[in-house]
Amino acid sequence: MTHYHPDQFLLNDYVAGSLPGAVALPIAVHLEYCAQCREEGAQLSRLGAELFSELDPVPVGDDAFARLLERLDGKGAVPMTPLAPQRPARTRDGLPRALRSLVPTGVEELDWKRISGALRASRLGFGDPRREVALHHIRAGGKVLAHGHAGSEITVVLQGSFSDQDGRYAQGDFLVRGPGDEHRPVAAADSDCLCLAVLDAPIRLGGLLGRLANPFLRIHPR
């Protein structure tokens, strides 16, 4: 059961299809775990359709359809999670379907970089020039260096759990950290923790040591 969800504005923009792919992705992943948000999304979608049907048609440019296809086709396209009440099926290695094309041969086959004793990371090559999309893996009981955020970081827990000063986050939980937030995640002692992380600006590091230890934390979009 998930306890941390995207807020209604984010969910509404997701349903309307107006989010950048790298922001829609973690929401699609959360929806696979969260029946409550699928239901809320379905309601927003019905409401949107009703409002839309009351509008007068607006002419669109000749290239509108071509541009839409380009968006759906190109890199960075996110498979929409069906807003059906039943839980979507997982891929073979237990990952959400929305990550299937980014992790085609399994988590262990990815190119992992060791960031510290407890943390490793793998960039997923999502194709967004302004955001980095990555998997983070924290060893059971491992602590991540305290860090602050200059921009925002969206995290969805895929396996295991971690905690910080504000709470404990388990599978499916969706978190947004904004500018000025500082935290020090610690994985649960009994299992490794795997998260999807989307960063849109460099993380501010606590000290020189952190800077030396964490070249990864300068983000590398795409």
Least Å distance, CB 74 to Zn ion, is 28
Piece of 1-9, 61-69, 117-125, 154-162 that binds Zn ion (CB under 5 A): 1-9
**Does residue 5 touch Zn ion according to CB under 5 A?**
yes
Q: Which is nearer to Zn ion, 15 or 37 (CB)?
A: 37
Taking the complex as a whole, the smallest distance from the CB of residue 3 to Zn ion amounts, in Å, to: 9
Q: How near is the Cβ of 126 to Zn ion at its closest, in Å?
A: 22
Contacts of 88 (CB under 8 A, 6+ apart): 32, 81, 82, 96, 97
Q: Is 27 in the site for Zn ion (CB under 5 A)?
A: no
- Does 83 contact Zn ion by CB under 5 A? no
Closest Cα partner for 74 from 129, 15, 121, 132?
Answer: 129
Contact indicator for 147, 218 with CB cutoff of 8 Å: no
Quick one: 34 or 102, whose CB is closer to Zn ion? 34
Window contacting Zn ion (CB under 5 A); options: 33-41, 51-59, 81-89, 150-158: 33-41
CA–CA gap between residue 171 and residue 157 (Å, rounded): 5
Contact of 198 with 153, CB cutoff 8 Å? yes
d(CA 38, CA 5): 11
* Site size with Zn ion, rule: CB under 5 A: 3
Q: Do 149 and 198 form a contact (C-beta atoms < 8 A)?
A: no
Which is closer to Zn ion, CB of 88 or CB of 151? 88
Residue with Cβ nearer Zn ion (37 or 103): 37
Interaction between residue 34 and Zn ion (CB under 5 A):
yes
Our finding on whether 15 is near Zn ion (CB under 5 A) is no
Given candidates 10, 37, 154, 199, which one binds Zn ion under the rule CB under 5 A? Answer: 37
**122 vs 135: CA distance, rounded Å:** 5
How big is the chain, counted in residues?
Answer: 222
Smallest distance from Zn ion to CB 162, Å: 18
For the CB of residue 23, give the shortest distance to Zn ion in the complex, in Å. 15
Q: How far is CA 138 from CA 135, 145, 162, in A?
A: 10, 11, 8
Task: State the Cα–Cα distance between residues 159 and 14, nearest whole angstrom.
Answer: 24
Instruction: Compute how many other C-beta atoms are within 10 angstroms of the C-beta atom of residue 161.
Output: 18
Select from 35-43, 64-72, 79-87, 94-102 the region that touches Zn ion (CB under 5 A).
35-43
Cβ closest to Zn ion, residue 8 vs residue 101: 8
The binding site for Zn ion (CB under 5 A) comprises 5, 34, 37
